[in-house]
């Protein structure tokens, strides 16, 4: 199934509009190109709405949000909704500041998202309306482990059901659910968290996968999460004893560029709960 989903990305080469942070934007663009998609970035209010219309999907990432780009996020999100384009939200740092929490909650209120992709602390912030996030990484206390997996799946399903959006919580174990079914994914490497922006790249990737597979958004989101993790594994095997997080970043994008849909099918490591 993931094979066909990934093939669709390569065949359709969806154009993805990204309103995203300036920290990891270059890696997001190269990751989109690596998977077979095309990136475009616009964050001026006027421009963002028009660019949304020529794209197939929209990825909103609040990593370096500001008073100028927030209105562009709302307007582009609404325009994408009108056009029936899938929209992905990456609520970077929701819970770490009022502006981030309020913006993410406001977007949830006014824009219909296909997928929300965040770490457990960010998603808990969105679900509860208040946050305890320390920075842009998940709180240690929140982390998804085998011990709390069932509880976290239950939480994710409930939240997904309530807001009618696919929830993708990524961490040591990833959970992707539409409220009914949950993919629990064990692809990936812990070392990926030593690279800035692997989460941002995954959100962009998710937008591409969901845009190319409008009839299977849950499976497409899960395929994107598996693909990112699998590339993290492939790239990890390539590391020499001189390589560190910067080369690892390059190798993960390289791995996506080289990844064959059949490999994704074979390498995807998940169970349903």
Cβ proximity to a second copy: between 23 and 172 the closer is: 23
d(CA 116, CA 62): 12
Q: Answer left, alpha or beta for residue 148, where phi above 0 means left and psi between -120 and 50 means alpha.
A: alpha
> Taking the complex as a whole, how short is the minimal distance between the CB of residue 146 and a second copy, in angstroms?
24
Instruction: Give the number of residues in contact with a second copy, rule: CB under 8 A.
Output: 64
Cβ proximity to a second copy: between 38 and 158 the closer is: 38
> Taking the complex as a whole, how short is the minimal distance between the CB of residue 170 and a second copy, in angstroms?
17
Site for a second copy in 129-168 (CB under 8 A): 134-137
SS3 assignment, position 162: helix
> Taking the complex as a whole, how short is the minimal distance between the CB of residue 249 and a second copy, in angstroms?
7
Cβ proximity to a second copy: between 1 and 83 the closer is: 83
Cβ proximity to a second copy: between 103 and 165 the closer is: 103
Question: What's the half-sphere exposure (Cβ side, CA atoms, 13 Å) at 42?
Answer: 21
d(CA 59, CA 177): 19
> Taking the complex as a whole, how short is the minimal distance between the CB of residue 211 and a second copy, in angstroms?
13
d(CA 18, CA 60): 6
Cα angle value 83/22/50 (rounded, 5°) = 25
Q: Which stretch binds a second copy (CB under 8 A): 95-103, 119-127, 152-160, 205-213?
A: 95-103
> Taking the complex as a whole, how short is the minimal distance between the CB of residue 157 and a second copy, in angstroms?
30
Residue with tokens 């299977």: 216
Cβ proximity to a second copy: between 65 and 227 the closer is: 65
The residue among 184, 185, 203 whose CA lies nearest residue 92 is: 203
d(CA 132, CA 123): 11
- Taking residues 21 to 60 in sequence order and writing x for each that binds a second copy by CB under 8 A, - otherwise, the string is xxxxxxx-xx--xx---xxxxxxxxxx--xx--xx-----
- Taking residues 241 to 270 in sequence order and writing x for each that binds a second copy by CB under 8 A, - otherwise, the string is xxxxxxx-xxxxxxxxxx------------
d(CA 267, CA 273): 19
Instruction: Write the burial class of residue 246 (CB in 10 Å: 0-12 exposed, 13-18 middle, 19+ buried).
Output: exposed
Cβ proximity to a second copy: between 90 and 178 the closer is: 90
Instruction: Write the burial class of residue 254 (CB in 10 Å: 0-12 exposed, 13-18 middle, 19+ buried).
Output: middle
Cβ proximity to a second copy: between 1 and 128 the closer is: 128
Residues that bind a second copy (CB under 8 A): 15, 21-27, 29-30, 33-34, 38-47, 50-51, 54-55, 63-68, 93, 96-100, 134-137, 194-197, 238, 241-247, 249-258
């Amino acid at each position: 199934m993931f094979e066909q989903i990934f093939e669709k990305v390569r065949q359709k080469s969806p154009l993805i509009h990204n309103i995203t942070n300036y920290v990891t934007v270059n890696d997001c663009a190269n990751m989109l190109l690596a998977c077979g998609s095309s990136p475009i970035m616009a964050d001026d209010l006027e421009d963002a709405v028009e660019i949304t219309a020529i794209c197939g999907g929209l990825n909103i990432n609040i990593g370096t949000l500001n008073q100028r780009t927030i209105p562009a996020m709302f307007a582009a999100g609404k325009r994408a909704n009108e056009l029936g384009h899938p929209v992905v939200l990456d609520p970077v740092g929701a819970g770490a500041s009022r502006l981030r929490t309020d913006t993410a909650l406001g977007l949830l209120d006014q824009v219909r998202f296909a997928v929300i992709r965040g770490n457990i602390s960010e998603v808990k912030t969105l679900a509860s309306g208040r946050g305890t996030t320390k920075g842009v990484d998940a709180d240690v206390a929140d982390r998804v482990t085998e011990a709390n997996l069932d509880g976290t799946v239950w939480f994710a399903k409930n939240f997904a059901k309530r807001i009618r959006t696919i929830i993708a919580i990524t961490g040591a174990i990833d959970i992707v659910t539409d409220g009914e079914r949950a993919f629990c994914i064990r692809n990936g490497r812990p070392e990926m968290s030593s690279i800035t922006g692997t989460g941002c790249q995954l959100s962009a990737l998710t937008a591409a996968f969901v845009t190319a597979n409008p009839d299977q958004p849950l499976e497409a989101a899960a395929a994107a999460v598996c693909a990112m993790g699998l590339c993290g594994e492939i790239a990890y095997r390539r590391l020499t004893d001189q390589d560190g997080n910067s080369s690892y970043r390059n190798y993960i994008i390289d791995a996506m560029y080289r990844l064959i849909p059949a490999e994704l099918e074979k390498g995807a490591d998940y169970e349903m709960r």
